[in-house]
Amino acid sequence: MTLVACATSGAGTAGPPPAETAPAVETYQIGVDDIVQVSVWRNPELGITVPVRPDGMISVPLAGDVMAGGRTPPEVARDIETKLSAFVREPQVAVILTELRSHEYLSRVRVTGAVRQPISIPYRQGMTVLDAVLAAGGLTDFASPDRSDLYRRSDNGTRSYPVRLDRILNRGDLTTNYPVAPGDVITIPERAL
């Protein structure tokens, strides 16, 4: 609901949504519940593999609690190096993400509105609007399929793209059967009675 309220007004954005590009590895921000491995060169006893706690911290031997949530692995490594420098001469630390658990919900596609089963499904490469709607069990008898929208967040806010599900389902017109991206929301409104 909140995502829809943030959408731009009007009939939507002209043209198809932009293709999703993979974020660079350097910009990945560690999140709560991610598993990180900390290695200290020439000091294997200081290495540890731990989950990021709900407060965003990890506990590292000698360094204590270190903020990891919302930061990149190199930033966390530099912070640990600074804290360890009181105990270890010229520490060289590597922080490696071994399991990406925090972004499980960020990389889902949601289908809401007049579908048989509103659903939040894991994003899969190549997934389209039709795939997501079918995973939701299809449309209800009260759906207004040609007034459907795909909502996508971008750096400029949330944008909407009109989806003509009736044309996709009944005419084979795949013009608006857009590829979906992680975090997309597809809404199918009910028709006015």
pTM of the full predicted structure? 0.59
**Among 47-51, 123-127, 165-169, 187-191, whose mean pLDDT is lowest?**
123-127
- pLDDT averaged over every residue in the chain: 87
pLDDT at 102: 79
The band of 121, judged by pLDDT with boundaries at 50, 70 and 90, is: very high
Give the CATH class of 30-99: alpha beta
- Which of residues 28 and 8 earns the better pLDDT score? 28
Domain 30-99 shares a fold with domain 108-188: no
CATH of domain 108-188: 3.10.560.10
Count Cα atoms within 13 angstroms, Cβ side, for 37.
7
| Domain chopping of the chain, boundaries | 30-99, 108-188
